[in-house]
A and B are shown apart, each in its own frame.
Chain A
């Protein structure tokens, strides 16, 4: 892919048009499992975005060096090393958050959407394009994690930003909002994740109906 006038448009497409979750249906397992609260979604989103930006950019830097057969292997190696380091880092610095996210930080390494980006886009495109595209992929994923996390926390627990102190220290505890209703349990259980995911998809399809000319 050679840089053209549409580069910017293409590189930012993963933010919404080619969104990892809403358009490609990838990364659903961590998405549905972690988004019981806004803070959990935020934390996993930041972690995933940081990982994909570093991994894809590194892969793009190496794209003229590696034979195609080695690309997947190298992408896995980079992702695994980054994720292991990140996992240790969160356990050392954000111990409670690490407990809340459990296995889903290590599992970033097998997030098919991120791996596909590091392998596929990064091996075909320039470093700058890959960086921007990785950033929009990460931000697109973060966006869905935040939306789903906020919706499920509001409906399921009747709170917003509960547990923010795990991420930002005790001083931020005041940011937690207690809404004047108890919460509807099902929203924070797995079926609730699917309900809200379905609502998001429906909303997206509705919004895109006008934008997308019939093919």
Chain B
């Protein structure tokens, strides 16, 4: 250090002042951005909710009830996941699971899965993933149509053994070069459908109870 060796007391004061300034600027930035970030996240989920619904439901003013459900085996995580039950004057119209595929190539894959009351898949979207760029990221609808092959499929129409990728003797295409990713997503959709089949009435009852507690204006 060539010059300006400073004064210990001044240094202490300057560091204290800077620490306080840093604290308040980060605090102010947090206060300023907190609500905006929450609004952004909510907007993204709501925008995504529409994307996994049947086209006819997208513009309708449905009541959305948020439930938390836990099933480590079928829903891919020990933590509660969000389930949105969409009803029209009490009649269930659709159910959307914000679930995870635990065995993605690099990390778990966050999925939004829309299911009609009769158990048909109305749409699947990857909302959060770390799959390989250019290969596994074909699960993004912006990059490939692969995710659209689930639309209209149901467990009752396809026996559970066939609900797998072609390499595993199933009926679904795999993304070439991303077998692990494909297997993870197909498995997660299948498990979510199984969960829905087993818990449909329970979910609808919970949604009806929650809706009764908070009457719509």
Is there a chain B Cβ closer than 8 Å to A181's Cβ? no
Is there a chain B Cβ closer than 8 Å to A23's Cβ? no
Is there a chain A Cβ closer than 8 Å to B107's Cβ? no
Determine the chain B residues whose CB is within 8 A of the CB of A88 once the complex forms: 26, 29-30, 32-33, 37
Is there a chain B Cβ closer than 8 Å to A116's Cβ? no
CA of A70 to CA of B5 in the docked complex: distance in angstroms? 11
In contact, B7 and A65 (Cβ under 8 angstroms): yes
Q: Name B's A-contacting residues (CB within 8 A).
A: 1-8, 10-11, 14-15, 18-19, 21-23, 25-26, 28-30, 32-33, 36-37, 40-41, 44, 132-134
Nearest 5 interchain pairs by C-beta: A92-B33, A81-B22, A92-B36, A85-B29, A95-B40
| Chain A nearest CB, measured from B78 CB (Å) | 25
In contact, B18 and A74 (Cβ under 8 angstroms): yes
CA of A102 to CA of B2 in the docked complex: distance in angstroms? 40
Q: Name A's B-contacting residues (CB within 8 A).
A: 1, 36, 62-68, 70, 73-74, 77-78, 80-81, 84-85, 88-89, 91-93, 95, 123-124, 156, 185, 188-189
| Chain A nearest CB, measured from B139 CB (Å) | 15
13 contacts between A and B (CB under 8 A): A1-B2, A70-B6, A70-B11, A74-B14, A74-B15, A81-B21, A85-B26, A88-B29, A88-B33, A89-B32, A92-B33, A95-B40, A95-B41
Determine the chain A residues whose CB is within 8 A of the CB of B21 once the complex forms: 81
In contact, A77 and B40 (Cβ under 8 angstroms): no
